[in-house]
Amino acid sequence: MNCHPLILHVDADAFYASVEQVLHPELRGKAVIVGANNRGVVSAASYEARRFGVHSAMPVAQARRLCPHGVFLEPNFAAYSEYSRQMFEIMRRYSPAVEATSVDEGYVDLSGTLRLHKAPPWEVAHRMLQEIRVTLGINVSGGLAGSKMAAKMATGLAKPNGLLYLEPEKAWMVLGRLPVGSIPGVGKKTEKILRGHGIITVADLAASPGRLVGSLLGQWGEKLPESAAGHDYRPVRVEPVESQKSYSKERTLAEDTTDYNLIRHVACEIAEKLSYRLREDGKGASTVTLKVRYADFTQTSRSISLREPTNANAVIFACLDRLFGKAVTHRQRIRQVGVKLSGIGPPVYQEDLFEPRRGLAYRKDRLADAIRNRFGFTSVRVADCFLQGHRWQLK
DNA sequence: TCTGGGGTCCTAGGACCC
DNA sequence: TCTGGGGTCCTAGGACCC
Cis geometry, peptide bond prior to residue A160 (ω within 30 degrees of 0): yes
Phi, psi of A336 (to 5 degrees): -145, 145
Q: Which of A9-13, A209-213, A316-320, A379-383 has the lowest mean pLDDT?
A: A379-383
Look at residue A394 in the predicted model and tell me its pLDDT. Answer: 46
A323-337 residue pLDDT tens: 999 999 878 999 999
Residues 286-305 of A with CB under 7 A from strand C: 286-287, 289, 299-305
Q: State the first-to-last Cα distance of chain A, in angstroms, to the nearest integer.
A: 73
A48-59 residue pLDDT tens: 999 999 999 999
Q: Is the CB of A57 under 7 A from strand C?
A: yes
A9: closest CA among A135, A134, A171? Answer: A171
Look at residue A239 in the predicted model and tell me its pLDDT. Answer: 78
Look at residue A330 in the predicted model and tell me its pLDDT. Answer: 78
- Between A389 and A123, the more confident residue is A123
Average pLDDT, chain A: 91
- Between A114 and A59, the more confident residue is A59
Task: Judge whether residue A350 has pLDDT over 60.
Answer: yes
Cβ-proximal residues to A307 (8 Å cutoff; 6+ apart), any chain = A286
- Between A268 and A350, the more confident residue is A268
Residues 220-239 of A with CB under 7 A from strand B: 220
A282-295 residue pLDDT tens: 999 999 999 999 99
At residue A351 the predicted structure's pLDDT band, cuts being 50, 70 and 90, is low
Average pLDDT (A4-10) is: 93
Which residues is A300 bridged to in the sheet? A292
- Between A383 and A177, the more confident residue is A177
| N residues, chain A | 395
Look at residue A268 in the predicted model and tell me its pLDDT. Answer: 95
A160-190 residue pLDDT tens: 999 999 998 889 899 999 999 999 999 999 9
Query: Within 7 A of a protein CB, which nucleotides of strand B?
Result: 1-12
Q: What percent of chain A has pLDDT over 70?
A: 93
Q: Is the CB of A182 under 7 A from strand C?
A: no
Q: Which of A52-66, A220-234, A374-388 has the lowest mean pLDDT?
A: A374-388
| pTM (two decimals) | 0.92
Closest CA to the C1' of B2: that residue is A59
Look at residue A279 in the predicted model and tell me its pLDDT. Answer: 95
Catalytic residues of A: 105
Query: Within 7 A of a protein CB, which nucleotides of strand C?
Result: 9-18
Look at residue A375 in the predicted model and tell me its pLDDT. Answer: 87
